[in-house]
Amino acid sequence: MSIDSKPLNVLFLCTHNSARSILAEALLNALGNGRFRAYSAGSSPREHQRPNPLGLQVLQAAGIPIEGLHSKSWDVFAARDAPVMDLIITVCGNAADEVCPVWPGHPCTAHWGYPDPSAGTGTDEEKLEAFRHTMHAIKRRLEIMCQLPAEMLEPASLQTSARALSNS
């Protein structure tokens, strides 16, 4: 990517768009240095779905901005006036197994599975630790992606690069 290049649009998908996809959106926007513009959505967010407060708490504690984060349906990004995605990454098994909408521009796809930190039981501190663990796992993978050379983010290489990171 040259300095004049537009950022790559990346959409993170999960079922409810309340934990993993929200964490990934916030992290990539913070780490991407203008090379990426991250979004998130859910295949079936619940009515009045909101980001999980524990996820927002761990992001804030890590110094990651949370302004503007909100849960939304993936239908928002299949609409005509939606930003065209370059890469779509599912971050939960359920979303990866679902039939996705036809995305404008036919973006590259990858699956980076993470356990659901909101599914755990235990003390409040144990639940918070699950979110911290998930945030750090996502962050490690995104840091690698952000350091990829420009040629690995070109359309011809992007899908291979993103899918290779699923093993990181």
The structure's pTM equals: 0.91
Give me the amino acid identity at 24. A
Residue 46 has φ and ψ, to the nearest 5°, of -70, 160
Mean pLDDT by 10 residues, the chain (168 residues): 74 93 98 96 85 96 96 89 93 66 81 90 92 97 95 89 86
User: Helix or strand or coil: residue 87?
Assistant: strand
Catalytic residue list: 14, 92, 100
Residue extents of the structural domains in the chain: 8-156
**Tokens representing residue 115 in the block:** 């356990």
What dotted CATH number matches 8-156? 3.40.50.2300
pLDDT of residue 80: 84
pLDDT of residue 3: 45
Residue 142 near residue 24 (C-beta atoms within 8 A): yes
